[in-house]
């Protein structure tokens, strides 16, 4: 479909299939609920759950927040704060587990 150039930030792609992403999110949520109560080792469950949570977050970020289609400069800006979380948490956890 045509997009007039007058509008700022106008994307030049067709709409992603938002409903399909919604289905993925719902399925992942259901899977999380199942995995959380399986009789597996705690560490395994934690890794799987966190992985799934990040997967869902990535879907929201990439498709609903349109990062998939934005200029690289904006994508770098968007993820820039994340390493700081890792630095803070990993450093301080060593107070208790090392």
Partner 1 sequence: MAHAAAVQEDVMLPPPSRAPGAGVYSEKLGMWIFLGSEVMFFTALIGTYVILRFAHPDAWAGHPKPHTPLNIPVTAVNTFLLICSSVTMVKAFAAAQDGIQRQLRLWLLATVLIGATFVGVQVYEYTHLIEHGFVPSQGLFGSTFYTMTGFHGFHVTMGVLCMIYVTMKAFRGKYTQADHRGVEVIGLYWHFVDLVWIILFTIVYLI
Partner 2 sequence: MATTATGTSPFTYDHGHAHVDDRSFIRKYIFSTDHKIIGIQFLIMSLTFLLLGGTLAMVMRWQLGFPGKPLPGGTLLPDTYTSGGVVLPEFYNSAVTMHGTFMVFFAIMPLLVGVFGNYLIPLKIGAPDMAFPRINMASFWTAVPAGFLMLAGFFVEGGSAAAGWTSYAPLSARSDLTGVHLGQIFWCVSLIVLGLSSIMGSFNYITTVINLRAPGMNWFRLPLSIWSLFVTACLVLLAIPVLSGAAILLLFDQTIGTKFFEPTAGGQPLLWQHLFWFFGHPEVYILILPAMGMASDIIANGARKPIFGYTSMVLAIIAIGFLGWGVWGHHMFQSGMNPTLGTTFMISTLLIAVPSAIKTFNWLGTIWKGQITFHVPMLHALAFVSMFVIGGLSGVFMAASPFDIYIHDTYFIVAHLHYVLFGGSLFAIFAAVTYWYPKMFGRMMNPTIGKVHFWLTLVFYNCTFFPMHQLGLHGHMRRIYDPTQYAFLKDLQPVNTFISISAFCLFATQFLFAANFIMSWFRGEKAPNNPWLDNGLEWTLPSPPPHGNFATVPTVYRGPYEYSSPHSDEDYIPQNVPTPGGGYGSPHPQHAGD
- Interface residues with partner 1 (CB under 8 A)? 1, 3-4, 6-11, 15, 18-19, 21-22, 25-26, 29, 32-33, 36-37, 45-46, 49-50, 52-54, 56-57, 60-61, 63-65, 70-71, 73-74, 77-78, 80-82, 84-85, 88-89, 92-93, 95-97
Contact predicate 18/63, CB 8 Å = yes
User: From the CB of 85, what's the least distance to partner 1, in Å?
Assistant: 4
Find the DSSP H helices in 1-98: 18-36, 42-59, 72-79, 82-97
Q: Which residues contact 13 (CB under 8 A, 6 or more apart)?
A: 69
Indicate the length of the chain as a whole number.
98
**Which position among 1, 2, 8, 76 is part of the footprint of partner 2 (CB under 8 A)?**
8
């Amino acid at each position: 479909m045509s997009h007039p150039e007058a509008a700022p930030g106008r994307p030049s792609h067709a709409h992603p299939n938002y409903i399909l992403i919604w289905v993925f999110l719902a399925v992942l949520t259901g899977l999380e609920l199942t995995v959380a109560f399986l009789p597996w080792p705690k560490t395994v469950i934690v890794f799987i759950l966190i992985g799934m949570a990040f997967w869902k977050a990535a879907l929201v970020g990439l498709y609903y927040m349109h990062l998939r289609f934005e200029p690289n400069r904006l994508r770098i800006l968007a993820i820039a704060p994340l390493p700081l979380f890792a630095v803070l948490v990993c450093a301080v956890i060593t107070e208790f587990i090392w």
